Chain A
Amino acid sequence: MSRIRRIRAEATAAWHSFLRRRTAVFFTFFFPVLLVVIFGALVRTQPTAGGLFAEPPAYYIPGYLATVVLFTPLSRVGSEIARHRDDNRFEKLATTPLGRGEWLIAHTLVNVAIIGLASLLILGLVVALTGAVVPFTARLALLVPFVVCAVVLFCGFGAILGRLSSTQDGVIAASNTIAFPLLFLSDTFVPLALLPGWFAPLVELSPLTYFARGVRALTYEPSITEPYGVELGVVAALAVAFFVAGAYAIPRTD
Chain B
Amino acid sequence: MNEAVVAAGVSKRYGETVALDGVDLSVADGEVFGLIGPNGAGKTTLVRALTGTTPVDGEITVRGAAPTAVDADRIGLLPQSFSPPARLTARELIDYYGGLYETARSTEEVLAAVGLTDAADSWYETLSGGQQRRVCVGIALVNDPDLLFLDEPTTGIDPAGRQSLWSLLEELADGGTTIVLTSHSMTEVQRLADRVGLLQDGRLVAVGTPTELIEAHGGDSRLVIDTDQPEAAVNALREADFAATASHTTVVVTGVSPVEIGDAAAALSTAGIDYGSLTWAEPSLEDVYLQLTGEQFAGGERLDTGGVPAGTTTEPNAVTPTAEPQEGAE
Q: Residues on A close to B: CB < 8 A? A: 2, 5-6, 8-10, 12-14, 16-17, 20-21, 87-89, 91-98, 252-254
Q: Residues on B close to A: CB < 8 A? A: 48, 51-55, 72-73, 75-88, 92-93, 95-102, 123, 139, 143, 149
Q: List 6 A-B residue pairs with CB atoms under 8 Å apart, sorted by A's residue number.
A: A87-B83, A96-B101, A97-B73, A97-B102, A98-B100, A253-B48
Question: Which A residues are in CB contact (< 8 Å) with B80?
Answer: 88
Question: Which A residues are in CB contact (< 8 Å) with B85?
Answer: 13-14, 16-17
Give the shortest distance, in Å, between A80 (CB) and chain B (any CB): 10
* Given A91-B79, A93-B100: 11 more A-B contacts, CB < 8 Å: A2-B102, A9-B100, A13-B92, A88-B82, A89-B84, A91-B51, A92-B79, A92-B139, A97-B73, A253-B52, A253-B55
Question: Which B residues are in CB contact (< 8 Å) with A8?
Answer: 99
Is B53 a contact of A96 with CB atoms below 8 Å?
no
Closest residue of chain A to B73, judged by CB? Answer: A97
Is B82 a contact of A95 with CB atoms below 8 Å?
no
Is B53 a contact of A253 with CB atoms below 8 Å?
yes
Is A20 a contact of B53 with CB atoms below 8 Å?
no
Greatest chain A CB density within 10 A among B87, B100, B123 is at B100
Give the shortest distance, in Å, between B106 (CB) and chain A (any CB): 15
Q: In the complex, A16→B88 CA distance in Å?
A: 7
Interface SS of chain A? helix
Is B77 a contact of A95 with CB atoms below 8 Å?
yes
Give the shortest distance, in Å, between B135 (CB) and chain A (any CB): 12
Which of A5, A93, A95, A98 lies in contact with B52, CB distance below 8 A? A95
Give the shortest distance, in Å, between A16 (CB) and chain B (any CB): 6
Known: A9-B99, A88-B80, A95-B75. A254 touches B54 (CB 8 A): yes
Is A88 a contact of B100 with CB atoms below 8 Å?
no
Is A87 a contact of B53 with CB atoms below 8 Å?
no
Is B77 a contact of A92 with CB atoms below 8 Å?
yes
Is B48 a contact of A254 with CB atoms below 8 Å?
yes
Closest residue of chain B to A90, judged by CB? Answer: B53
Is B48 a contact of A91 with CB atoms below 8 Å?
yes
Is B97 a contact of A12 with CB atoms below 8 Å?
no
Known: A89-B82, A89-B83. A94 touches B53 (CB 8 A): yes
Is A17 a contact of B53 with CB atoms below 8 Å?
no
Q: In the complex, A89→B86 CA distance in Å?
A: 12
Question: Which A residues are in CB contact (< 8 Å) with B83?
Answer: 87-89
Is B88 a contact of A13 with CB atoms below 8 Å?
yes
Question: Which B residues are in CB contact (< 8 Å) with A94?
Answer: 51-53
Q: In the complex, A95→B101 CA distance in Å?
A: 10
Q: In the complex, A5→B97 CA distance in Å?
A: 11
Question: Which A residues are in CB contact (< 8 Å) with B98?
Answer: 9
Is A97 a contact of B82 with CB atoms below 8 Å?
no
Question: Which A residues are in CB contact (< 8 Å) with B52?
Answer: 94-95, 253
Q: In the complex, A16→B102 CA distance in Å?
A: 22
Closest residue of chain A to B92, judged by CB? Answer: A16
Q: In the complex, A88→B140 CA distance in Å?
A: 13
Question: Which A residues are in CB contact (< 8 Å) with B93?
Answer: 13
Closest residue of chain A to B82, judged by CB? Answer: A88
Question: Which B residues are in CB contact (< 8 Å) with A93?
Answer: 100
